[in-house]
Structure 1
Amino acid sequence: MTNFDHERLSICIGGTRQARVALGAAMEYVMQREAFGKTLVDQPAVRHRLAICGGMVEAQWSWIEQMTYMMSKMEKVEADQELGGLTALVKAQTGHILSECAQCAVLLFGGKGYTRTGQGELAYREVPGTRIPGGSEDVLLDLSVRQLVKNYKNKIEALQKDASPRL
């Protein structure tokens, strides 16, 4: 089961990249498209949507970099115990973020985002390709909490053993 950690991290990298590409395409579009006498990017609501999604993508990328670092620096036994739940959590979060960013892009593209030949439809159609492989989100969220609780209990138990008076 621990082999899933690397697979899930790879899915996270790809999904986060897809989210970034969707936002990049939307940004390019809103900088060119004019409505009501100004470009869409001049509308506060459009900037707000982009800022929210951009913040999610950047935070997710930071988390992925942290997970990559931990996987590369921890001993295998320790990584297997400590990172499974976190990797499941970051993978589930990636699906949510990609979905939000794809939806944002579709909304900003307007009609072009909704039609089959439009710019946004392709981005949104690819969302399940990130959310399904490596385990469904419900299973991953449950796995992450179960493992985090198990690790917490084990660490509390170890602390209590170390703190007990020795005779």
Structure 2
Amino acid sequence: MDSIYTNPDHELLRDQVAKFIAREVEPHADKWEEAGMVPRDVLRRMGSAGLFGLMYEGAYGGAEADAMTNLVFAEALSQSTYAGFIITVLVHTDMASPHLHHAGSPAQKDKYLRKVIAGELITAVGITEPGAGSDVAGIRTTARRDGDDWVLNGTKMFITNGVHADLYFVAAKSGPGKREVSMFIVEKGTPGFTVGRALKKSGWLSSDTAELIFDNVRIPAANLLGEEGKGFYSVMKNFQTERIALAAMAVGHCQRALELTLQYVKQREAFGSTLWDKQTIRQRIAMLDAKTRAARQFMYHCAWRVTQGHDIVQDVSLLKALTGELVNEVVQACQQFHGGMGYMRETPIERLWRDARVLAIGGGATEVMLEEAAKRY
């Protein structure tokens, strides 16, 4: 489907991503699902291909592209039926490393950003805790200044890339104020910083997800990321990039599920004709396609508004709520049209079905998103 917002360069990027997925992902990703992680050499090849720094500075190897280009990348990536691979990449490109891009000092960028863009350092972001997810002001991990160092204590939960990341951007309370949160750079191997456990999930099986423990983790003052006490606002700002990327995942899953289902119903026979010959099925698929196309245009409109410098919090909150629910509606219906085969682990539609569920939860649950939108009417 073409969009009025895209151009020939975007289509070249879409084609590049599709070829990478066909060559490097689809033939191998079943093994990644079993292993619970995406091999780091695959991610390095993505970095070498120039896919990890689309919006970042050219001086560090980035492409200095805009939000629209980044959306095209996320949507193209989401044509894969392996969402664990997709989220591994998007956390690195759209949810974790943007904190370094937006708030990093020249010295911090010189030290890390080139390797992040090249895929030599894979990143994770530590915000969610056992008792705080979308409520960032409710986090309990603390950061205490001690001479030339900061000392971190606390626990993070549900951290994507948490097991195998090299670099973590961690939110911690750095003062008594409710929103007095700061962001810190923590390298893997720092004394006192450990992966508590790798978490087992219903879906996103090739995504490594972890509990992180900070036990008197001492880091140099130079690892403060951005201004002290301003991390809450940095997190809120980056949520918009994150939620557009998750919407792209949802729309991509809808598109792929419909494509797979059309192929299936046109050849599957029942009661003397194909499923496609049944009017009810044809019409339901057409309506699901209509909803997907409408959501896709809203998504592109949100990205366009980013490029124009507009306040997009309400729009993106609505987009996240809409697409998180829509992908579950579309994928579940498509699974239904596959009958018993749609419940078998070896089928892409079954994988899409279990992977889609979390898109109404992660990155801001539907109910939270609707409240964020409602507060702005």
Same fold (TM over 0.5): yes
**TM-score of Structure 1 vs Structure 2, range by shorter chain:** 0.7 to 0.9
Instruction: Give the superposition deviation at 1:3.
Output: 1.7
* Structure 1 partner of 2:371: 142
User: 1:95 deviation in Å?
Assistant: 0.9
For residue 129 of structure 1, report the CA deviation from its aligned partner: 3.3
Give the one of 319, 324, 343 matched to 1:95.
324
CA deviation after TM superposition for structure 1 residue 119, in Å: 4.3
SS of the equivalent of 2:345 reads coil
Given that 1:106 and 1:121 are in contact with CA atoms closer than 8 Å, whether structure 2 keeps it comes out as yes
Letter in structure 2 aligned against 1:14: M
Residue in structure 1 matched with residue 249 of structure 2 by the alignment = 14
| Percent of paired sites with the same residue | 29
Give 1:64 shift: 0.7
**Alpha-carbon distance, 1:112 to partner:** 0.6
For the Cα contact (< 8 Å) 2:335–2:342, is it kept in 1? yes
Distance in 2, Cα, partners of 1:2 & 1:118 = 38
Matched, 1:128 2:357: yes
The one-letter code of the counterpart of 1:139 is V
1:111 maps to 340
Say whether residues 1:53 and 2:282 are aligned partners.
Answer: no
Aligned pair count reads: 142
Quote the offset at 1:134 in angstroms: 1.4
Please, which runs of 5 or more residues in structure 1 have no aligned partner? Answer: 150-167
**Separation in 2, partners of 1:18, 1:101:** 9
- Normalised to the residue count of structure 1, the TM-score between the two structures is 0.80
Indicate the residue corresponding to 1:73 in structure 2: 308
Taking structure 2 as the reference length, what is the TM-score of the superposition? 0.37
Which residue is 1:44 aligned to? Answer: 279
- Name 2:299's counterpart in structure 1: 64
Distance in 2, matches of 1:19 and 1:89, equals: 18
Is this contact kept in 1: 2:247–2:319, CA < 8 A?
yes
Partner of 1:162: none
1:39 positional shift: 1.1
Give the structure with the larger strand fraction: 2
The separation in 2 between residues aligned to 1:117 and 1:54, in whole angstroms, is 25
Distance in structure 1 (CA, Å) of the matches to 2:348 and 2:336: 11
The one-letter code sitting in structure 1 at the alignment partner of 2:342 is: G
**Corresponding residue of 1:85:** 314
- The answer for the alignment partner of 1:158 in structure 2 is none
Q: Do the aligned residues in 1 keep the contact of 2:265 with 2:337 (CA within 8 Å)? A: yes
Give secondary structure in 1 for the equivalent of 2:303: helix
Residue 160 of structure 1: aligned partner = none
Which residues of structure 2 form unaligned runs of 5+?
1-235
CA distance in 2, matches of 1:87, 1:134: 12
The AA in structure 1 aligned to 2:329 is E
Structure of greater relative contact order (alpha carbons < 8 Å, 6+ residues apart): 1
